[in-house]
Structure 1
Amino acid sequence: MLDIRRLYMLKTVAARGSITAAAQSLALSAGAVSQQLAALRHDVGIDLLRPDGRTVALTEAGRVLLEHADRILAAMEEAECAVAAVKGTVGATATLAALPSTVARIVAPALTALGADHPQLAVTCLVTDEAQLRELALGTVDVVLGQRYHHLPETAPRGVAISPLLDDPLLVVTAADGSGERPVGLRELATHNLVVPPPSTDCGQAILHACHQAGFTPTTRHVTADIAAQLALARAGLATALVPRSAIDPGTLGIRTAPIEDHPILRLLFAATRHTETTNPTTEAVIAALRTAARQNRTAHLPPP
């Protein structure tokens, strides 16, 4: 009988591209992973991996086995969820991966609420921009707080369930000048020096796409994905920033924020989990806390009546 732990190791090696990278993510030595994969190769009687430059790749047999391994691992998680649903209680641990721009206004309030409502639940939070949904598929995280910009096609990886949380517009941020939050046309920014995220990022691509749709190429003077740095440059009057509304504290001094009226740049914040037929009480509690925090954050940014 095949060992499910060895199947998971095969899946991890295939996703990471090397035994060394897989071993690091599994907190094992490369030798231990190689040993287990050798045992799996002995069990099936055919090579599952082949050298591919500095990495390794699946053989045809490896691809076939991994397809079955995915179904087996999914069935195992389904069984765990079914038992958890019968118990009806929130578990003891969960891992959340979140974008840096969501920590202050959504993640922190959500974790505070979880601590009050479910004190037995210890949530580990990984703050990262990188490959969140891949980590979800590998099982290294349980919930992802991710984003998708509205100019991109709506797609979800196979086996991933998406729960929309918040439509989060980018605001134009400049130094405070005493004027109100008058909406601005994106074309007005053609004469501004902008601070923007790198074009390789989703946000950077979204800003370039919107500016091109508005008929101009932005003048970029500063490039950084660090929102604190973007706000500091805007506060100093050195640049105009385009920052997600949920990433800005409404009480921040020294800046002026304004919505974009003609070519809005919107990102959808979502919570993602591995798809199961049975709801897992633990991940559902995390998503509920994120949803409440997102709703409260949206209310905090509404203009006064």
Structure 2
Amino acid sequence: MLDIRRLHMLKTVVARGSIAAAAQSLALSAGAVSQQLAALRREVGVDLLRPDGRTVALTEAGRVLVEHADRILGAVQEAESAVAAVKGTVGATATLAALPSTVARIVAPALTSLASLHPQLTVTCLVTDQAQLRELPLGTVDVVLGQRYHHLPDDTPRGVDAYRLLDDPLLIVTAADRAGERPVSLRELATHHLVVPPPTTDCGQAVLHACGQAGFTPSTPYVTTDIAAQITLARAGLATALIPRMAIDPTAAGIRTSLIEDHPIHRLLFAATRHTDTANPTTTAVIAALRTAAHDGRSTLLPPT
């Protein structure tokens, strides 16, 4: 009989591209993963992986086995959810991956609420600029708090359910004495120095896309994904920032925020989990807490706009 853990290792190696990367993801040594894959190869009697430059690729037999592994591991997850639903209780552990820009106004309040409502639940929170949906099918995380900018297509992977939390507009952030209390046309920023994320990021692409629609190429002498740094530069009057509303501390002093009255830039914040036919009480509780925190955070006052 095939070992489920070895099937999961094979799937992880394929997703990560190498045995070393898979081992790091699984918190194992590369030697341990290699040994388990060698045992799996002996079980099936045929090579499953082949070298592909600096990475590895599936053989035809490996591809067939991974297709079945997806269904087998999915059935195991379905069984776990069904048993949890029968028990009707929230479990002991969950792993949440979230963007840094969501921690202060969504993640922290949600975790505080979960600690009060479900004290037996320990949530491990992985804060990363790239909250990857692909981690869900691998079982690395249970819930992802992710984003999608509105100019980009929906790339939710098969086998993942995404739940809308809120639309989060980017606000124009300047020094408190540099802007009036009114919405601002994006075109007005054509003469500003902007601080923006790198153009390789979704947010950086969204800003460049909107500025192009407004008819100009922005001056971007400052490039960083660090929102605290963006706000510091804006507060000093050195640059104008475009920052998601939910990423701005409502208590931040020395800045003014303004809505974009034309060519608005929005990101959709969502919570995602692996698809199962039976809802898992633990992931359901985590998503419910994120929804409540997102709703409450949206109504929190910001510096004058």
Same fold (TM over 0.5): yes
CA–CA distance in structure 2, aligned partners of residues 160 and 84 of structure 1:
19
How far the C-alpha of 1:154 sits from its partner, in A, is 2.2
Q: Which residue of 2 aligns with 1:89?
A: 89
Q: Is the 8 A contact 1:181 1:259 kept in 2?
A: no
Q: Which residue of 1 aligns with 2:68?
A: 68
Tell me the TM-score normalised to structure 2 length: 0.97
Q: Which amino acid is 1:34 matched to?
A: S
Q: Does 2:258 match 1:258? A: yes
CA offset digits 1:176-197 (Å, max 9, x no partner): 0186531001001000000000
Q: Does 2:27 match 1:27? A: yes
Tell me the TM-score normalised to structure 1 length: 0.97
Q: Is the 8 A contact 1:234 1:255 kept in 2?
A: yes
How far the C-alpha of 1:302 sits from its partner, in A, is 7.9
Q: Which amino acid is 2:265 matched to?
A: I
Worse-matched range after superposition: 237-246 or 170-179: 170-179
Q: Does 2:182 match 1:199? A: no
How far the C-alpha of 1:54 sits from its partner, in A, is 1.4
Q: Is the 8 A contact 2:99 2:131 kept in 1?
A: no
Q: Which residue of 1 aligns with 2:13?
A: 13
User: RMSD value over aligned CA atoms?
Assistant: 1.3
Change (3 A) 1:178 1:232: closer
How far the C-alpha of 1:155 sits from its partner, in A, is 3.0
Q: Which amino acid is 2:117 matched to?
A: D
> What SS class does the counterpart of residue 177 from structure 1 fall into?
coil
**Which stretches in structure 1 are left out of the alignment for 5+ residues?**
none
Q: Which residue of 1 aligns with 2:150?
A: 150
Worse-matched range after superposition: 24-33 or 177-186: 177-186
How many positions carry a matched residue from both structures?
304
Change (3 A) 1:106 1:278: same
Worse-matched range after superposition: 167-176 or 33-42: 33-42
**Which stretches in structure 2 are left out of the alignment for 5+ residues?**
none
Q: Is the 8 A contact 2:171 2:260 kept in 1?
A: yes
CA–CA distance in structure 1, aligned partners of residues 159 and 59 of structure 2:
23
Q: Does 2:224 match 1:221? A: no
CA–CA distance in structure 1, aligned partners of residues 244 and 46 of structure 2:
51
CA–CA distance in structure 1, aligned partners of residues 178 and 213 of structure 2:
30
How far the C-alpha of 1:215 sits from its partner, in A, is 0.6
Change (3 A) 1:155 1:134: closer
Q: Is the 8 A contact 1:146 1:269 kept in 2?
A: yes
CA–CA distance in structure 2, aligned partners of residues 62 and 222 of structure 1:
47
CA offset digits 1:251-297 (Å, max 9, x no partner): 21100100001100000000000011000000000000000000001
How far the C-alpha of 1:301 sits from its partner, in A, is 3.7
> What SS class does the counterpart of residue 134 from structure 2 fall into?
helix
How far the C-alpha of 1:24 sits from its partner, in A, is 1.2
